[in-house]
Amino acid sequence: MMTVERQLQASPRRIWYRLAITLIAIILIGWSVGAVSFKDVNQSGFQIALNIWKGIVHPDLDLLFNVSKQSILYLLVQTFAIAFLGTIVGGILSVPLAFLAASNVVPRPVAWLTRLLLIVIRTIPELVYGLMLIKVTSPGPFAGVLTIGITSIGMLAKLYVDAIEELDVKVLESMTSIGCTTFEKIRYGIMPQLLSVFLSVTIYRFDMNMREASILGLVGAGGIGAPLIFAMNSYKWSQAGSILIGLVILILLIELLSNKMRAKLVKG
Q: Give the HSE-up count for residue 171: Cα atoms under 13 Å, Cβ half-sphere.
A: 14
Which is nearer to other proteins, 46 or 65 (by Cβ)? 46
Report which of 113, 208, 99 is spatially closest to residue 160, judged by C-alpha positions: 99
Which is nearer to other proteins, 122 or 173 (by Cβ)? 122
Which is nearer to other proteins, 177 or 233 (by Cβ)? 233
Shortest separation between residue 171's beta carbon and other proteins, angstroms: 22
Which is nearer to other proteins, 13 or 170 (by Cβ)? 13
Nearest-angstrom CA–CA distance, 152 and 202: 9
Whether residue 164 contacts residue 105, with contact meaning beta carbons closer than 8 Å, is answered with yes
Whether residue 155 contacts residue 146, with contact meaning beta carbons closer than 8 Å, is answered with no
3-class secondary structure, 54: helix
Shortest separation between residue 14's beta carbon and other proteins, angstroms: 12
Shortest separation between residue 141's beta carbon and other proteins, angstroms: 4
Whether residue 90 contacts residue 147, with contact meaning beta carbons closer than 8 Å, is answered with no
Which is nearer to other proteins, 61 or 124 (by Cβ)? 124
> Which residues form the interface with other proteins (CB under 8 A)?
28-29, 31-42, 45-46, 48-49, 52, 77-78, 80-82, 84-85, 88, 119-120, 122-128, 131-133, 135-137, 140-142, 144-146, 211-212, 214-215, 218, 222, 228-229, 232, 244, 247-248, 251-252, 255
Dihedral angle, C-alpha 184, 93, 154, 228, nearest 10 °? -130
Shortest separation between residue 244's beta carbon and other proteins, angstroms: 7
- What string of H, E and C letters represents the secondary structure of 127-180? HHHHHHHHHHHCCCHHHHHHHHHHHHHHHHHHHHHHHHHCCCHHHHHHHHHCCC
Please count the other Cβ atoms lying within 10 Å of the Cβ belonging to residue 136: 9
Shortest separation between residue 84's beta carbon and other proteins, angstroms: 5
Which is nearer to other proteins, 101 or 215 (by Cβ)? 215
Shortest separation between residue 125's beta carbon and other proteins, angstroms: 4
